[in-house]
Amino acid sequence: MNQFKLLHSKRFLPLFGTQFLGAFNDNVYKNALVILIIFQGSTLYGIDTNYIVTLSAGIFILPFFLFSATAGQLADKHEKSMLIRYIKILEIMIMSFAFIAFYFESILMLIVLLFLMGTQSTLFSPLKYSIVPQHLADHELTGGNGLLSMGTFLAILLGTILGGIVVSLESYGPLMIAGIVVILAILGFLTSLFIPKAESAAPDLKINWHIISQTFKIMQYARENRSVFIAIIAISWFWFIGATYLSQVPAYSKSTLGSNNEVVTLLLTMFSVGIGLGSLMCEKLSKGRIELGLVPLGAIGIILFSIDIYFASQYFVALSLPEGQMNASQFLEISSSWRVLVDLMLIGLFGGFFIVPLNAMIQKRTIPDTRARVIAASNILNALFMVISALATVGMLLLGFNIPQIFLFLGLLTIGVTGILFLLLPEFVQRFAVWVRFSG
Protein backbone atom coordinates (compact mmCIF):
# COMPACT_ATOMS: atom_id res chain seq x y z
CA MET A 1 0.00 0.00 0.00
CA ASN A 2 1.23 3.49 -0.81
CA GLN A 3 1.78 5.14 2.57
CA PHE A 4 0.39 8.48 1.40
CA LYS A 5 -3.02 6.85 1.10
CA LEU A 6 -2.94 6.71 4.90
CA LEU A 7 -3.21 10.51 4.90
CA HIS A 8 -6.64 10.09 3.31
CA SER A 9 -7.68 7.55 5.94
CA LYS A 10 -9.76 8.36 9.02
CA ARG A 11 -7.76 5.65 10.78
CA PHE A 12 -4.54 7.67 10.51
CA LEU A 13 -4.95 11.30 9.35
CA PRO A 14 -6.47 12.67 12.62
CA LEU A 15 -3.66 11.08 14.66
CA PHE A 16 -1.04 12.45 12.24
CA GLY A 17 -2.55 15.93 12.45
CA THR A 18 -2.81 15.83 16.23
CA GLN A 19 0.80 14.73 16.76
CA PHE A 20 2.10 17.19 14.13
CA LEU A 21 0.32 20.15 15.73
CA GLY A 22 1.49 19.08 19.19
CA ALA A 23 5.16 18.80 18.15
CA PHE A 24 4.87 22.04 16.18
CA ASN A 25 3.47 23.86 19.20
CA ASP A 26 6.14 22.47 21.54
CA ASN A 27 8.91 23.81 19.32
CA VAL A 28 7.29 27.19 18.64
CA TYR A 29 7.06 27.64 22.40
CA LYS A 30 10.53 26.29 23.25
CA ASN A 31 12.42 28.31 20.66
CA ALA A 32 10.46 31.47 21.39
CA LEU A 33 11.43 31.07 25.03
CA VAL A 34 15.11 30.53 24.14
CA ILE A 35 15.16 33.63 21.90
CA LEU A 36 13.37 35.66 24.56
CA ILE A 37 16.01 34.67 27.11
CA ILE A 38 19.14 35.04 24.95
CA PHE A 39 18.50 37.80 22.47
CA GLN A 40 16.21 40.06 24.46
CA GLY A 41 18.39 39.97 27.53
CA SER A 42 15.75 38.54 29.84
CA THR A 43 17.14 37.35 33.16
CA LEU A 44 15.90 35.30 36.08
CA TYR A 45 17.16 36.35 39.52
CA GLY A 46 20.43 37.50 37.93
CA ILE A 47 21.29 34.01 36.56
CA ASP A 48 23.36 33.95 33.37
CA THR A 49 21.14 33.49 30.29
CA ASN A 50 23.17 30.51 28.98
CA TYR A 51 22.50 28.65 32.21
CA ILE A 52 18.79 29.44 31.99
CA VAL A 53 18.63 28.02 28.44
CA THR A 54 20.43 24.84 29.53
CA LEU A 55 18.14 24.58 32.56
CA SER A 56 15.09 25.00 30.32
CA ALA A 57 16.13 22.09 28.10
CA GLY A 58 16.48 19.90 31.19
CA ILE A 59 13.14 21.04 32.58
CA PHE A 60 11.34 19.95 29.41
CA ILE A 61 12.96 16.49 29.49
CA LEU A 62 12.52 15.95 33.27
CA PRO A 63 8.84 14.84 33.05
CA PHE A 64 9.86 11.93 30.79
CA PHE A 65 11.83 10.55 33.76
CA LEU A 66 9.16 11.36 36.33
CA PHE A 67 5.89 10.51 34.60
CA SER A 68 6.55 8.04 31.75
CA ALA A 69 5.75 5.07 33.99
CA THR A 70 2.37 6.58 34.89
CA ALA A 71 1.72 7.62 31.28
CA GLY A 72 2.32 4.07 30.05
CA GLN A 73 -0.10 2.62 32.59
CA LEU A 74 -2.82 5.13 31.74
CA ALA A 75 -2.41 4.44 28.02
CA ASP A 76 -2.75 0.67 28.54
CA LYS A 77 -5.71 0.96 30.93
CA HIS A 78 -7.97 3.47 29.16
CA GLU A 79 -9.53 3.92 25.73
CA LYS A 80 -6.84 5.85 23.88
CA SER A 81 -8.74 8.36 21.73
CA MET A 82 -10.59 9.69 24.79
CA LEU A 83 -7.33 10.01 26.72
CA ILE A 84 -5.72 11.91 23.83
CA ARG A 85 -8.59 14.43 23.90
CA TYR A 86 -8.15 14.99 27.65
CA ILE A 87 -4.43 15.58 27.08
CA LYS A 88 -5.19 18.07 24.31
CA ILE A 89 -7.56 19.93 26.67
CA LEU A 90 -4.65 20.05 29.14
CA GLU A 91 -2.51 21.58 26.37
CA ILE A 92 -5.11 24.29 25.77
CA MET A 93 -5.13 25.11 29.49
CA ILE A 94 -1.31 25.29 29.62
CA MET A 95 -1.16 27.49 26.52
CA SER A 96 -3.83 29.80 27.93
CA PHE A 97 -1.53 30.48 30.87
CA ALA A 98 1.34 30.81 28.38
CA PHE A 99 -0.61 33.61 26.69
CA ILE A 100 -0.44 35.56 29.95
CA ALA A 101 3.23 34.66 30.50
CA PHE A 102 4.28 35.78 27.00
CA TYR A 103 2.23 38.97 27.32
CA PHE A 104 4.09 39.95 30.49
CA GLU A 105 7.34 38.29 29.29
CA SER A 106 7.53 36.41 32.61
CA ILE A 107 10.48 34.03 32.19
CA LEU A 108 9.80 32.24 35.48
CA MET A 109 6.19 31.51 34.54
CA LEU A 110 7.22 30.40 31.03
CA ILE A 111 9.75 27.95 32.49
CA VAL A 112 7.15 26.50 34.89
CA LEU A 113 4.77 26.09 31.94
CA LEU A 114 7.60 24.46 29.96
CA PHE A 115 7.69 21.74 32.62
CA LEU A 116 3.92 21.27 32.25
CA MET A 117 4.32 21.08 28.47
CA GLY A 118 6.93 18.38 28.92
CA THR A 119 4.45 16.56 31.18
CA GLN A 120 1.74 16.80 28.51
CA SER A 121 4.16 15.46 25.88
CA THR A 122 5.12 12.62 28.23
CA LEU A 123 1.47 11.61 28.59
CA PHE A 124 0.87 11.77 24.83
CA SER A 125 3.88 9.82 23.57
CA PRO A 126 2.91 6.26 24.67
CA LEU A 127 -0.58 6.86 23.29
CA LYS A 128 0.73 8.03 19.93
CA TYR A 129 2.83 4.96 19.26
CA SER A 130 0.66 2.32 20.94
CA ILE A 131 -2.51 3.39 19.09
CA VAL A 132 -0.90 2.91 15.66
CA PRO A 133 -0.98 -0.95 15.66
CA GLN A 134 -4.65 -0.82 16.71
CA HIS A 135 -5.63 1.22 13.65
CA LEU A 136 -3.15 -0.01 11.03
CA ALA A 137 -2.49 -3.47 9.59
CA ASP A 138 0.96 -5.03 9.93
CA HIS A 139 1.89 -4.14 6.35
CA GLU A 140 1.00 -0.49 7.06
CA LEU A 141 3.17 -0.09 10.15
CA THR A 142 6.37 0.88 8.34
CA GLY A 143 4.57 3.45 6.18
CA GLY A 144 2.64 4.85 9.14
CA ASN A 145 5.73 5.17 11.31
CA GLY A 146 7.58 6.76 8.42
CA LEU A 147 4.91 9.43 8.13
CA LEU A 148 4.90 10.03 11.90
CA SER A 149 8.69 10.37 11.94
CA MET A 150 8.64 12.71 8.95
CA GLY A 151 5.88 14.77 10.55
CA THR A 152 7.71 15.01 13.86
CA PHE A 153 10.95 16.36 12.38
CA LEU A 154 9.10 18.68 10.00
CA ALA A 155 7.18 20.03 13.00
CA ILE A 156 10.43 20.49 14.95
CA LEU A 157 11.97 22.40 12.05
CA LEU A 158 8.96 24.61 11.25
CA GLY A 159 8.17 25.26 14.92
CA THR A 160 11.78 26.24 15.65
CA ILE A 161 11.86 28.63 12.69
CA LEU A 162 8.44 30.18 13.36
CA GLY A 163 9.05 30.59 17.09
CA GLY A 164 12.41 32.29 16.49
CA ILE A 165 11.16 34.64 13.78
CA VAL A 166 7.90 35.75 15.41
CA VAL A 167 9.16 36.32 18.96
CA SER A 168 11.97 38.51 17.56
CA LEU A 169 9.52 40.94 15.97
CA GLU A 170 9.70 44.30 17.67
CA SER A 171 6.93 45.24 20.10
CA TYR A 172 4.38 42.55 19.22
CA GLY A 173 6.53 39.41 18.91
CA PRO A 174 5.82 37.80 22.31
CA LEU A 175 2.12 38.69 22.06
CA MET A 176 1.90 37.06 18.61
CA ILE A 177 3.57 33.92 19.96
CA ALA A 178 1.04 33.92 22.80
CA GLY A 179 -1.80 33.83 20.28
CA ILE A 180 -0.15 31.24 18.04
CA VAL A 181 0.44 28.67 20.81
CA VAL A 182 -3.19 28.91 21.96
CA ILE A 183 -4.52 28.55 18.40
CA LEU A 184 -2.27 25.53 17.73
CA ALA A 185 -3.44 23.87 20.94
CA ILE A 186 -7.09 24.37 19.97
CA LEU A 187 -6.45 22.99 16.46
CA GLY A 188 -4.74 19.96 18.01
CA PHE A 189 -7.82 19.30 20.15
CA LEU A 190 -10.13 19.64 17.14
CA THR A 191 -8.14 17.09 15.10
CA SER A 192 -8.13 14.71 18.08
CA LEU A 193 -11.94 14.61 17.98
CA PHE A 194 -11.73 12.57 14.76
CA ILE A 195 -9.32 9.90 16.05
CA PRO A 196 -11.22 6.57 16.00
CA LYS A 197 -11.70 4.64 19.21
CA ALA A 198 -8.89 2.36 20.33
CA GLU A 199 -10.16 0.05 23.05
CA SER A 200 -8.32 -0.42 26.31
CA ALA A 201 -5.56 -3.04 26.17
CA ALA A 202 -5.64 -3.76 29.92
CA PRO A 203 -8.90 -2.42 31.43
CA ASP A 204 -8.35 -4.26 34.73
CA LEU A 205 -4.89 -2.77 35.27
CA LYS A 206 -4.47 -1.23 38.71
CA ILE A 207 -2.50 2.02 38.43
CA ASN A 208 0.68 2.13 40.53
CA TRP A 209 1.35 5.81 41.25
CA HIS A 210 4.75 5.18 42.83
CA ILE A 211 7.16 6.63 40.29
CA ILE A 212 10.35 4.74 41.18
CA SER A 213 8.90 1.25 41.64
CA GLN A 214 6.75 1.51 38.52
CA THR A 215 9.66 2.82 36.45
CA PHE A 216 11.64 -0.31 37.36
CA LYS A 217 8.58 -2.43 36.60
CA ILE A 218 8.07 -1.05 33.08
CA MET A 219 11.77 -1.56 32.42
CA GLN A 220 11.19 -5.22 33.27
CA TYR A 221 8.35 -5.32 30.74
CA ALA A 222 10.69 -3.84 28.13
CA ARG A 223 13.31 -6.51 28.85
CA GLU A 224 10.91 -9.45 28.57
CA ASN A 225 11.41 -9.59 24.80
CA ARG A 226 15.15 -9.42 24.13
CA SER A 227 14.81 -8.20 20.54
CA VAL A 228 12.44 -5.41 21.63
CA PHE A 229 14.83 -4.23 24.34
CA ILE A 230 17.75 -4.14 21.88
CA ALA A 231 15.56 -2.14 19.50
CA ILE A 232 14.81 0.31 22.34
CA ILE A 233 18.53 0.77 23.00
CA ALA A 234 19.08 1.34 19.27
CA ILE A 235 16.31 3.99 19.17
CA SER A 236 17.86 5.68 22.20
CA TRP A 237 21.18 5.78 20.39
CA PHE A 238 19.44 7.47 17.44
CA TRP A 239 18.19 10.17 19.82
CA PHE A 240 21.70 10.50 21.25
CA ILE A 241 22.94 11.21 17.72
CA GLY A 242 20.00 13.45 16.80
CA ALA A 243 20.22 15.48 20.02
CA THR A 244 23.95 16.04 19.47
CA TYR A 245 23.47 17.34 15.94
CA LEU A 246 20.41 19.47 16.72
CA SER A 247 22.07 21.06 19.75
CA GLN A 248 25.46 21.69 18.13
CA VAL A 249 24.43 22.94 14.68
CA PRO A 250 23.94 26.58 15.85
CA ALA A 251 27.39 26.73 17.49
CA TYR A 252 28.92 24.83 14.55
CA SER A 253 27.51 27.38 12.11
CA LYS A 254 28.76 30.31 14.16
CA SER A 255 32.23 29.14 15.27
CA THR A 256 33.34 26.71 12.55
CA LEU A 257 31.54 27.97 9.45
CA GLY A 258 31.67 31.64 10.46
CA SER A 259 28.00 31.97 9.53
CA ASN A 260 24.90 33.61 10.97
CA ASN A 261 21.39 32.42 11.86
CA GLU A 262 20.38 32.13 8.19
CA VAL A 263 22.91 29.32 7.81
CA VAL A 264 21.76 27.71 11.07
CA THR A 265 18.26 27.50 9.58
CA LEU A 266 19.67 26.11 6.32
CA LEU A 267 21.69 23.41 8.13
CA LEU A 268 18.76 22.39 10.34
CA THR A 269 16.51 22.28 7.28
CA MET A 270 18.87 19.90 5.47
CA PHE A 271 19.11 17.64 8.51
CA SER A 272 15.34 17.58 9.09
CA VAL A 273 14.48 17.14 5.40
CA GLY A 274 16.96 14.25 5.30
CA ILE A 275 15.23 12.48 8.18
CA GLY A 276 11.85 13.12 6.59
CA LEU A 277 12.93 11.70 3.23
CA GLY A 278 14.61 8.70 4.82
CA SER A 279 11.51 7.98 6.91
CA LEU A 280 9.24 8.16 3.86
CA MET A 281 11.55 6.00 1.73
CA CYS A 282 11.44 3.13 4.25
CA GLU A 283 8.02 1.97 3.08
CA LYS A 284 9.17 1.57 -0.52
CA LEU A 285 12.56 0.09 0.35
CA SER A 286 10.94 -2.48 2.64
CA LYS A 287 8.07 -3.23 0.22
CA GLY A 288 5.55 -2.78 3.01
CA ARG A 289 7.27 -5.18 5.42
CA ILE A 290 8.91 -4.39 8.73
CA GLU A 291 12.40 -4.64 7.23
CA LEU A 292 15.09 -4.76 9.92
CA GLY A 293 17.71 -4.94 7.17
CA LEU A 294 17.35 -1.17 6.80
CA VAL A 295 18.75 -0.64 10.30
CA PRO A 296 22.37 -1.65 9.43
CA LEU A 297 22.05 0.37 6.21
CA GLY A 298 21.06 3.39 8.30
CA ALA A 299 23.96 2.83 10.70
CA ILE A 300 26.47 2.62 7.84
CA GLY A 301 25.24 5.91 6.38
CA ILE A 302 25.30 7.71 9.75
CA ILE A 303 28.87 6.51 10.35
CA LEU A 304 30.21 7.43 6.90
CA PHE A 305 28.71 10.89 6.71
CA SER A 306 29.44 11.79 10.35
CA ILE A 307 33.07 11.07 9.54
CA ASP A 308 32.89 12.93 6.22
CA ILE A 309 31.42 16.09 7.75
CA TYR A 310 34.57 16.28 9.90
CA PHE A 311 36.76 16.30 6.78
CA ALA A 312 34.39 18.67 4.97
CA SER A 313 34.70 21.08 7.90
CA GLN A 314 38.51 21.22 7.75
CA TYR A 315 38.38 23.75 4.90
CA PHE A 316 36.48 26.14 7.18
CA VAL A 317 38.69 25.35 10.18
CA ALA A 318 41.74 26.29 8.11
CA LEU A 319 40.13 29.59 7.04
CA SER A 320 39.56 30.63 10.68
CA LEU A 321 36.63 32.80 9.66
CA PRO A 322 35.29 35.49 12.01
CA GLU A 323 32.34 34.13 13.99
CA GLY A 324 28.79 34.56 12.76
CA GLN A 325 29.50 36.89 9.82
CA MET A 326 28.43 35.09 6.61
CA ASN A 327 24.84 34.98 5.49
CA ALA A 328 23.33 32.05 3.56
CA SER A 329 24.12 33.36 0.06
CA GLN A 330 27.75 34.06 0.97
CA PHE A 331 28.03 30.61 2.55
CA LEU A 332 26.68 28.89 -0.55
CA GLU A 333 29.29 30.60 -2.73
CA ILE A 334 31.95 28.48 -1.02
CA SER A 335 32.19 25.09 -2.76
CA SER A 336 32.88 23.17 0.46
CA SER A 337 29.59 24.41 1.88
CA TRP A 338 27.67 22.06 -0.40
CA ARG A 339 29.56 19.07 0.94
CA VAL A 340 28.61 20.05 4.49
CA LEU A 341 24.95 20.43 3.51
CA VAL A 342 24.86 17.09 1.67
CA ASP A 343 26.55 15.37 4.62
CA LEU A 344 23.94 16.70 7.04
CA MET A 345 21.07 15.72 4.76
CA LEU A 346 22.46 12.19 4.31
CA ILE A 347 23.04 11.76 8.05
CA GLY A 348 19.34 12.59 8.46
CA LEU A 349 18.33 10.35 5.53
CA PHE A 350 20.12 7.31 6.91
CA GLY A 351 18.82 8.20 10.37
CA GLY A 352 15.32 7.75 8.94
CA PHE A 353 16.29 4.32 7.61
CA PHE A 354 17.60 3.50 11.09
CA ILE A 355 14.69 4.52 13.30
CA VAL A 356 11.48 3.77 11.37
CA PRO A 357 11.88 -0.05 11.22
CA LEU A 358 12.83 -0.07 14.91
CA ASN A 359 9.62 1.72 15.94
CA ALA A 360 7.55 -0.64 13.78
CA MET A 361 9.36 -3.65 15.24
CA ILE A 362 8.55 -2.59 18.82
CA GLN A 363 4.88 -2.07 17.95
CA LYS A 364 4.68 -5.48 16.28
CA ARG A 365 6.58 -7.57 18.83
CA THR A 366 5.21 -6.19 22.09
CA ILE A 367 2.23 -7.77 23.83
CA PRO A 368 -0.83 -5.50 23.35
CA ASP A 369 -1.56 -5.56 27.09
CA THR A 370 1.78 -3.90 27.93
CA ARG A 371 2.63 -2.13 24.66
CA ALA A 372 2.16 1.44 25.95
CA ARG A 373 4.24 0.69 29.04
CA VAL A 374 7.06 -0.69 26.90
CA ILE A 375 6.93 2.47 24.77
CA ALA A 376 7.01 4.51 27.99
CA ALA A 377 10.16 2.60 29.01
CA SER A 378 11.64 3.52 25.63
CA ASN A 379 10.82 7.19 26.30
CA ILE A 380 12.69 7.08 29.60
CA LEU A 381 15.80 5.63 27.94
CA ASN A 382 15.52 8.09 25.05
CA ALA A 383 15.48 10.99 27.52
CA LEU A 384 18.41 9.47 29.44
CA PHE A 385 20.49 9.16 26.27
CA MET A 386 19.70 12.78 25.32
CA VAL A 387 20.89 13.96 28.74
CA ILE A 388 24.06 11.87 28.40
CA SER A 389 24.56 13.40 24.94
CA ALA A 390 24.39 16.91 26.40
CA LEU A 391 26.78 16.07 29.25
CA ALA A 392 29.23 14.28 26.94
CA THR A 393 29.22 17.20 24.49
CA VAL A 394 29.86 19.73 27.24
CA GLY A 395 32.64 17.52 28.59
CA MET A 396 34.34 17.24 25.19
CA LEU A 397 34.10 21.00 24.62
CA LEU A 398 35.66 21.63 28.03
CA LEU A 399 38.49 19.24 27.10
CA GLY A 400 39.22 21.35 24.04
CA PHE A 401 37.50 19.36 21.27
CA ASN A 402 35.96 21.44 18.51
CA ILE A 403 32.53 20.61 17.06
CA PRO A 404 33.77 18.85 13.86
CA GLN A 405 35.84 16.58 16.12
CA ILE A 406 32.71 15.83 18.16
CA PHE A 407 30.90 14.84 14.94
CA LEU A 408 33.83 12.59 14.01
CA PHE A 409 33.82 10.98 17.45
CA LEU A 410 30.06 10.46 17.15
CA GLY A 411 30.56 8.56 13.88
CA LEU A 412 33.34 6.40 15.33
CA LEU A 413 31.34 5.72 18.49
CA THR A 414 28.37 4.63 16.36
CA ILE A 415 30.58 1.90 14.86
CA GLY A 416 31.09 0.43 18.33
CA VAL A 417 27.54 0.89 19.64
CA THR A 418 25.72 -0.47 16.60
CA GLY A 419 28.33 -3.23 16.18
CA ILE A 420 27.55 -4.48 19.69
CA LEU A 421 23.79 -4.25 19.10
CA PHE A 422 24.08 -6.22 15.84
CA LEU A 423 26.18 -8.88 17.57
CA LEU A 424 23.55 -9.16 20.31
CA LEU A 425 20.78 -9.48 17.72
CA PRO A 426 22.23 -11.00 14.51
CA GLU A 427 18.77 -10.76 12.91
CA PHE A 428 19.65 -7.19 11.86
CA VAL A 429 22.65 -8.27 9.81
CA GLN A 430 20.91 -11.39 8.49
CA ARG A 431 17.98 -9.33 7.24
CA PHE A 432 20.39 -6.77 5.75
CA ALA A 433 22.10 -9.53 3.76
CA VAL A 434 18.75 -10.79 2.48
CA TRP A 435 17.58 -7.25 1.66
CA VAL A 436 20.77 -6.49 -0.31
CA ARG A 437 20.50 -9.77 -2.18
CA PHE A 438 16.91 -9.27 -3.29
CA SER A 439 17.18 -5.52 -3.85
CA GLY A 440 20.19 -5.79 -6.15
Pairwise pLDDT comparison (13 vs 174), residue with the higher score: 13
User: What band does 343 get if pLDDT is binned at 50, 70 and 90?
Assistant: very high
Q: Report how far apart, in Å, the C-alpha atoms of 144 and of each of 136, 230, 310, 410 are.
A: 8, 22, 34, 29
Residue 51: its pLDDT value, please?
Answer: 66
- The whole-number average pLDDT for the span 32-61 is 70
End-to-end CA distance of the chain: 22
Q: pLDDT of 153-164, one tens digit each?
A: 899 889 988 988
Confidence tier at 38 by pLDDT (50, 70, 90) = low
| CB neighbours of residue 336 within 10 Å | 16
DSSP letter string, 402-421:
-HHHHHHHHHHHHHHHHHHH
Angle between helices 173-192 and 80-104 (to 10 degrees): 170
- Specify which of 30-39, 45-54, 240-249, 371-380 reaches the highest per-range mean pLDDT: 371-380
pLDDT in tens, 205-256: 898 888 889 999 999 999 999 999 999 999 999 999 998 998 888 888 888 8
Instruction: Domain 223-440: give its CATH code.
Output: 1.20.1250.20
- State the chain's mean pLDDT as an integer: 89
Q: What percent of the chain has pLDDT over 90?
A: 57
Name the residue among 221, 210, 237 with its Cα closest to residue 66: 210
Nearest to 312 by CA among 246, 267, 273: 267
- Name 324's Cβ contacts closer than 8 Å, sequence gap at least 6: 253, 254, 258, 259, 260
pLDDT of 44 reads 54
Query: Averaged over 32-43, what is the pLDDT?
Result: 68
Half-sphere CA count of 142, side-chain side, radius 13 A? 24
- In percent, how much of the chain has pLDDT > 70? 96
pLDDT at 298 over 80: yes
Residues of the chain with CATH 1.20.1250.20: 8-195, 223-440
Exposed/middle/buried for 419, CB within 10 Å: 0-12, 13-18, 19+? middle
Report d(CA 438, CA 440) in Å as an integer: 6
Alpha helices in 44-172 (DSSP H): 49-77, 80-104, 107-135, 141-167
CATH of 8-195, one of 3.40.50.80, 1.20.1250.20, 1.10.150.120, 2.60.40.420: 1.20.1250.20
Tell me how far apart the alpha carbons of residues 18 and 84 are, in angstroms, rounded to a whole number: 9
CA distance 401 to 335: 25
pLDDT band at 47 (very low <50, low <70, confident <90, very high): low
Q: What is the pLDDT of residue 119?
A: 95
Query: What is the arithmetic mean of pLDDT over 112-129?
Result: 93
| pLDDT, position 440 | 59
Q: What is the reported pLDDT for 169?
A: 82
55 pLDDT higher than 80: no
